[in-house]
Amino acid sequence: MSYKRIPWNQYFMGQSVLLSLRSTCERLEVGAVIVRDKRVIAGGYNGSVSGDTHCIDDGCYVVDDHCVRTIHAEMNAILQCAKFGISTEGAEIYVTHFPCLACTKMILQAGIKKIYHLEDYHNNEYGLKLISAVGVKVEKVKLSRKYFDKLTFGENDESFLPEINEE
Protein backbone atom coordinates (compact mmCIF):
# COMPACT_ATOMS: atom_id res chain seq x y z
CA MET A 1 0.00 0.00 0.00
CA SER A 2 1.70 3.16 -1.15
CA TYR A 3 1.21 6.56 0.36
CA LYS A 4 -0.78 8.80 -1.95
CA ARG A 5 0.95 12.11 -2.45
CA ILE A 6 -1.17 15.25 -2.31
CA PRO A 7 -2.00 16.41 -5.88
CA TRP A 8 -0.88 19.86 -6.98
CA ASN A 9 -4.32 21.45 -7.02
CA GLN A 10 -4.94 20.27 -3.44
CA TYR A 11 -1.48 21.37 -2.37
CA PHE A 12 -1.89 24.91 -3.68
CA MET A 13 -5.56 25.35 -2.79
CA GLY A 14 -4.78 24.10 0.71
CA GLN A 15 -2.19 26.86 1.02
CA SER A 16 -4.69 29.42 -0.20
CA VAL A 17 -7.09 28.33 2.54
CA LEU A 18 -4.30 28.52 5.11
CA LEU A 19 -3.46 32.08 4.03
CA SER A 20 -7.11 33.10 4.34
CA LEU A 21 -6.79 32.47 8.08
CA ARG A 22 -4.66 35.63 8.27
CA SER A 23 -7.45 37.83 6.88
CA THR A 24 -8.20 40.88 9.00
CA CYS A 25 -11.71 41.49 7.68
CA GLU A 26 -14.53 39.54 9.24
CA ARG A 27 -16.88 40.02 6.32
CA LEU A 28 -15.05 37.43 4.25
CA GLU A 29 -11.79 35.57 4.73
CA VAL A 30 -10.04 35.18 1.41
CA GLY A 31 -6.68 33.69 0.50
CA ALA A 32 -4.77 33.68 -2.78
CA VAL A 33 -1.61 31.94 -3.94
CA ILE A 34 0.19 32.68 -7.20
CA VAL A 35 1.98 29.73 -8.72
CA ARG A 36 4.53 29.49 -11.50
CA ASP A 37 6.09 26.27 -12.70
CA LYS A 38 4.56 24.42 -9.76
CA ARG A 39 6.10 26.82 -7.29
CA VAL A 40 4.40 29.38 -5.09
CA ILE A 41 5.76 32.81 -6.02
CA ALA A 42 3.43 34.92 -3.90
CA GLY A 43 0.50 34.76 -1.57
CA GLY A 44 -2.00 37.13 -0.02
CA TYR A 45 -5.10 37.52 2.07
CA ASN A 46 -7.57 40.36 2.36
CA GLY A 47 -6.44 42.98 4.82
CA SER A 48 -5.69 46.65 5.42
CA VAL A 49 -2.90 48.69 3.91
CA SER A 50 0.16 48.03 6.08
CA GLY A 51 0.09 50.57 8.90
CA ASP A 52 -3.68 51.11 8.85
CA THR A 53 -5.96 49.70 11.53
CA HIS A 54 -7.57 46.32 11.03
CA CYS A 55 -11.27 45.64 10.53
CA ILE A 56 -11.08 42.99 13.25
CA ASP A 57 -9.91 45.71 15.69
CA ASP A 58 -11.86 48.79 14.57
CA GLY A 59 -14.73 47.35 12.56
CA CYS A 60 -15.11 47.46 8.81
CA TYR A 61 -15.07 50.74 6.91
CA VAL A 62 -18.22 50.22 4.91
CA VAL A 63 -19.16 52.36 1.90
CA ASP A 64 -22.02 51.30 -0.37
CA ASP A 65 -22.20 47.99 1.45
CA HIS A 66 -18.55 47.17 0.75
CA CYS A 67 -15.65 47.23 3.16
CA VAL A 68 -13.28 49.71 1.51
CA ARG A 69 -10.47 49.26 4.01
CA THR A 70 -9.15 46.00 2.70
CA ILE A 71 -6.91 45.17 -0.19
CA HIS A 72 -8.20 41.93 -1.66
CA ALA A 73 -6.14 38.75 -1.39
CA GLU A 74 -5.51 38.54 -5.15
CA MET A 75 -4.39 42.17 -5.27
CA ASN A 76 -2.09 41.65 -2.31
CA ALA A 77 -0.51 38.64 -3.97
CA ILE A 78 0.00 40.52 -7.26
CA LEU A 79 1.37 43.55 -5.39
CA GLN A 80 3.80 41.30 -3.56
CA CYS A 81 5.16 40.33 -6.98
CA ALA A 82 5.40 44.01 -7.94
CA LYS A 83 7.15 44.87 -4.69
CA PHE A 84 9.74 42.15 -5.02
CA GLY A 85 10.07 42.20 -8.79
CA ILE A 86 8.64 38.79 -9.64
CA SER A 87 7.04 38.14 -13.03
CA THR A 88 3.45 36.94 -13.04
CA GLU A 89 3.46 36.24 -16.79
CA GLY A 90 2.00 32.82 -17.48
CA ALA A 91 1.36 32.13 -13.80
CA GLU A 92 -1.71 30.56 -12.22
CA ILE A 93 -3.67 31.78 -9.22
CA TYR A 94 -5.45 29.77 -6.54
CA VAL A 95 -8.15 31.69 -4.70
CA THR A 96 -10.56 30.62 -1.99
CA HIS A 97 -13.33 32.74 -3.54
CA PHE A 98 -14.03 33.62 -7.15
CA PRO A 99 -12.38 37.02 -7.77
CA CYS A 100 -14.39 40.24 -7.90
CA LEU A 101 -14.39 42.29 -11.11
CA ALA A 102 -11.49 44.54 -10.05
CA CYS A 103 -9.34 41.56 -9.09
CA THR A 104 -10.33 39.70 -12.24
CA LYS A 105 -9.12 42.62 -14.34
CA MET A 106 -5.84 42.71 -12.43
CA ILE A 107 -5.33 38.97 -12.76
CA LEU A 108 -5.87 39.16 -16.52
CA GLN A 109 -3.65 42.19 -16.95
CA ALA A 110 -0.90 40.57 -14.88
CA GLY A 111 -0.69 37.82 -17.49
CA ILE A 112 -2.04 35.09 -15.23
CA LYS A 113 -3.37 32.26 -17.38
CA LYS A 114 -5.52 30.18 -15.07
CA ILE A 115 -7.76 30.84 -12.09
CA TYR A 116 -8.51 28.03 -9.66
CA HIS A 117 -11.22 28.80 -7.14
CA LEU A 118 -12.65 26.92 -4.21
CA GLU A 119 -15.96 28.74 -3.92
CA ASP A 120 -18.09 30.79 -6.23
CA TYR A 121 -18.64 34.31 -4.96
CA HIS A 122 -21.00 36.68 -6.80
CA ASN A 123 -19.22 35.65 -9.99
CA ASN A 124 -19.29 38.86 -11.99
CA GLU A 125 -20.86 38.57 -15.43
CA TYR A 126 -18.56 41.08 -17.08
CA GLY A 127 -15.58 39.49 -15.35
CA LEU A 128 -16.52 36.11 -16.79
CA LYS A 129 -16.91 37.68 -20.22
CA LEU A 130 -13.44 39.22 -19.99
CA ILE A 131 -11.94 35.95 -18.80
CA SER A 132 -13.24 34.06 -21.81
CA ALA A 133 -12.35 36.91 -24.21
CA VAL A 134 -8.75 36.86 -22.98
CA GLY A 135 -8.64 33.08 -22.99
CA VAL A 136 -7.86 32.58 -19.33
CA LYS A 137 -8.97 29.23 -17.93
CA VAL A 138 -11.12 28.80 -14.85
CA GLU A 139 -11.35 25.67 -12.75
CA LYS A 140 -13.27 25.03 -9.59
CA VAL A 141 -11.34 22.90 -7.11
CA LYS A 142 -12.88 20.91 -4.29
CA LEU A 143 -10.64 19.91 -1.43
CA SER A 144 -10.38 16.23 -0.73
CA ARG A 145 -10.40 15.66 3.02
CA LYS A 146 -8.10 12.64 2.88
CA TYR A 147 -5.13 14.80 1.97
CA PHE A 148 -5.65 17.07 4.96
CA ASP A 149 -6.30 14.46 7.60
CA LYS A 150 -2.65 14.68 8.52
CA LEU A 151 -3.25 18.23 9.76
CA THR A 152 -5.47 16.82 12.48
CA PHE A 153 -3.69 13.71 13.66
CA GLY A 154 -5.78 13.72 16.78
CA GLU A 155 -5.53 15.14 20.23
CA ASN A 156 -2.41 13.26 21.16
CA ASP A 157 -0.27 14.53 18.34
CA GLU A 158 2.82 16.15 19.78
CA SER A 159 3.00 18.72 16.99
CA PHE A 160 -0.04 20.51 18.34
CA LEU A 161 -0.16 22.78 21.36
CA PRO A 162 -2.72 21.80 23.95
CA GLU A 163 -6.08 23.52 23.44
CA ILE A 164 -6.37 26.82 25.26
CA ASN A 165 -9.49 28.90 25.70
CA GLU A 166 -8.25 32.35 24.67
CA GLU A 167 -6.35 33.33 21.48
- 141 phi, psi to nearest 5 deg: -115, 130
| Closest to 74 (Cα-Cα) out of 15, 18, 122, 16 | 16
Stretch that binds Zn ion, among 36-44, 84-92, 93-101, 118-126 (CB under 5 A): 93-101
Sign for the CA dihedral angle at 151, 156, 157, 158 comes to: positive
- Distances in Å between the alpha carbon of 14 and those of 7, 17, 63, 92, 161? 10, 5, 32, 15, 21
Q: In a 3-state reduction of DSSP, which class is residue 41?
A: strand
Residue 100 in contact with Zn ion, rule: CB under 5 A: yes
> In whole angstroms, what is the distance from residue 155 CA to residue 151 CA?
11
The nearest distance, CB 110 to Zn ion, in angstroms, is 13
Cβ nearer to Zn ion, comparing 25 with 91: 25
- Total of chain residues touching Zn ion, rule CB under 5 A: 7
Cβ nearer to Zn ion, comparing 60 with 79: 60
Q: Which of 40, 41, 60, 86 touches Zn ion by CB under 5 A?
A: 60
Residues of this chain, 126-155, that bind Zn ion according to CB under 5 A: none
The nearest distance, CB 137 to Zn ion, in angstroms, is 19
Residue 103 in contact with Zn ion, rule: CB under 5 A: yes
Residue 67 in contact with Zn ion, rule: CB under 5 A: yes
Residues of this chain, 19-48, that bind Zn ion according to CB under 5 A: 25
With contact defined as beta carbons under 8 Å apart, do 148 and 14 qualify?
yes
Q: Which of 55, 77, 93, 131 touches Zn ion by CB under 5 A?
A: 55
**CB crowding 61-71: b at 16 or more within 10 Å, else e:** eeeeeebebbb
Q: Contact positions toward Zn ion, by CB under 5 A?
A: 25, 55, 60, 67, 72, 100, 103
